[in-house]
Amino acid sequence: MSKRKLHSAAALKYSADENHAPIVVASGHGELASRIVSVAEENGIPVYRDDSAATLLTMLQVGAEIPPKLYQVIASIYAEVLKTSGKIIETEKD
């Protein structure tokens, strides 16, 4: 993890079989934000850094579905994570 101080972080989970939209499974500020990112990285979960999106997501309750107003933001993040994950997989194959 970078040395830069995190102001906020949120973790999302999405299962098309169970949910209509991604769900906030963790969120926090300061030290809790750092811990959320550390746990994700330790478990091989992709981390996307966007302070504005994190700030918006931490305003939601843990367990809440992402509201329609944030669908475009989250879709953009998921697309970037998938693109990055694909690059990682390609690199591991070489």
- Which residues form the domain of 33? 8-93
CATH classification of the domain holding 88: 3.40.1690.10
3-state helix, strand, coil in the chain (%, to 5): 50, 15, 35
Q: Which pLDDT tens digit goes with each residue over 12-54?
A: 999 989 999 999 999 999 999 999 999 999 998 889 999 899 9
Q: Is residue 14 part of a domain?
A: yes
Q: Is residue 3 part of a domain?
A: no
Q: Is residue 2 part of a domain?
A: no
Q: Using 50, 70 and 90 to split pLDDT, how confident is the model at 5? A: low
Domain count of the fold of the chain: 1
The model's pTM: 0.78
Q: Is residue 1 part of a domain?
A: no
